[in-house]
Amino acid sequence: MVGFAGYDMPVQYPMGVLEEHKHCRNAAGLFDVSHMGQVRLEGSNAAVALEKIVPADVQGLEKDRMRYTMFTSDSGGVLDDLIVLNRGDHLFLVVNAACKHEDLALMKEHLRGLKISYLENRALLALQGPKAVTVMSRIAPNAAEMPFMSATEFEIAGFNCLVTRSGYTGEDGFEIGLENNGAEAVARFLLDQEEVAPIGLGARDSLRLEAGLCLYGHDLDQNTSPIEAGLAWTIGNRRRKDGGFQGYDRINRELTHKPSRRRVGIRPDGRVIAREGVEIQVDGHTIGTVTSGGFGPSSECPIAMGYVASEFATVGRKVELLVRGQARPGEIVKLPFHPHRYFKG
């Protein structure tokens, strides 16, 4: 157990990080992500209002569908990344644990007139992996037909749950929101299924890194724009054209031209691990920095992500990684390191 964003969290269970990672890739892993912030926005103009501080097309979101987006700052940086779900009569947001109180302050400042409810009494579990759908289909047969990034409600172990087909491992899976008083019973029920094992923070990080997914505070921060981070796909045509959100001037400029730096995947040669903070160099000159790095159990080699000057952000570019004062060879590679296997429907 370690401290994480003000919570005590498990780094690993008895299976260990390596086997937990592989189990999630091959079967189904259960993550307790109840530290994430869950927020309800109510008001007839909630979607219009939220678009002032996120670049996503919230107004175009159909009922019970969801989108990944970010809160952006006046200068075009990322204040947090989040999920927005349209529940019909309200919007439901899931934000990062470390940022949730700042996110609430941001929403209260910019979304006046809306009812903003921080749901402290809710837990969140994530069931991830290719056999997650097998498990969920035993509980609710229609789970298998749920589209990716959609939501529905059904009972698990006698407790009403808001279930979305989503996750942050690159695998097919589900996230399960429910009242705190049902969390342990639902978790134990799911862990009793033969396909399911508990997964800790260590494997959660290696899974998302292999999937090429950003971790806020590392690969995303207040100085990094969505375009630098390779997240232009989250900004639809209407929002690109009409703007109206914080940081639009910078983001539009980077969409029209190009950012000064870009997020890239990096594969160190051999077995050298290039962790966060390692300088990325070409011919002895620093061109960027590693923001996430470790060993990829499915890739069976060290992997890293970082930012480099745009002129060097080409797949196949040879680089040096300054690890403990020594320049070690590496190469810029295409993301993700492990293919996404989300349900396509």
> What gap in Å lies between CA 211 and CA 171, rounded to an integer?
9
Q: Based on the domain organization, do 109 and 202 belong to the same domain?
A: yes
Q: Based on the domain organization, do 287 and 251 belong to the same domain?
A: yes
- Provide the pLDDT for residue 5: 85
Q: Based on the domain organization, do 242 and 188 belong to the same domain?
A: no
DSSP, collapsed to helix, strand or coil, labels residue 231 as coil
> What gap in Å lies between CA 176 and CA 324, rounded to an integer?
42
DSSP, collapsed to helix, strand or coil, labels residue 100 as helix
CA angle 121, 125, 126 (to 5 degrees): 150
Q: Based on the domain organization, do 190 and 219 belong to the same domain?
A: no
> What gap in Å lies between CA 343 and CA 323, rounded to an integer?
38
> What gap in Å lies between CA 65 and CA 327, rounded to an integer?
47
Q: Based on the domain organization, do 34 and 153 belong to the same domain?
A: yes
Residue 345 domain-assigned?
no
Residue whose tokens read 């097309």: 57
**Residues listed for the chain:** 345
Residue 173 domain-assigned?
yes
Tell me: cis bond preceding 336? Omega within 30 of 0 counts.
Answer: yes
- Provide the pLDDT for residue 224: 98
CATH number of domain containing 130: 3.30.1360.120
Residue 18 domain-assigned?
yes
Instruction: Tell me which H or E stretch contains 82.
Output: strand 78-86
> What gap in Å lies between CA 80 and CA 78, rounded to an integer?
6
- Provide the pLDDT for residue 4: 87
- Provide the pLDDT for residue 344: 86
The residues, ordered by sequence, that sit 6+ positions from 230 with a Cβ below 8 Å of its Cβ are 262, 263, 335
Among 161, 188, 208, the domain boundary falls at 208
Q: pLDDT under 50 in the chain at which residues?
A: none
Q: Based on the domain organization, do 178 and 229 belong to the same domain?
A: no
Q: Based on the domain organization, do 174 and 198 belong to the same domain?
A: yes
Q: Based on the domain organization, do 157 and 239 belong to the same domain?
A: no
Which one-letter DSSP state was computed for residue 60?
T
Q: Based on the domain organization, do 151 and 163 belong to the same domain?
A: yes
CATH number of domain containing 259: 2.40.30.110
pLDDT tens-digit map of 285-333: 999 999 999 999 999 999 999 999 999 999 999 999 999 999 999 999 9
Cα–chain-centroid distance for residue 230?
13
Among 158, 191, 208, the domain boundary falls at 208
Q: Based on the domain organization, do 116 and 226 belong to the same domain?
A: no
Q: Based on the domain organization, do 245 and 172 belong to the same domain?
A: no
Residue 339 domain-assigned?
no
- Closest residue by Cα to residue 132 from 96, 156, 97: 156
Residue 67 domain-assigned?
yes
Instruction: Tell me which H or E stretch contains 137.
Output: helix 132-139
Q: Name the token pair of 288.
A: 């960027």
Strand runs labelled E in 87-201: 91-95, 115-118, 122-128, 151-156, 159-164, 173-179, 196-198
Domain total in the chain:
2
Strand runs labelled E in 180-317: 196-198, 261-268, 279-282, 285-296, 301-309
Residue 338 domain-assigned?
no
Q: Based on the domain organization, do 142 and 259 belong to the same domain?
A: no
Among 155, 184, 208, the domain boundary falls at 208
Residue 65 domain-assigned?
yes
**Structural domain boundaries, residue 264:** 212-333
> What gap in Å lies between CA 2 and CA 186, rounded to an integer?
24
Residue 252 domain-assigned?
yes
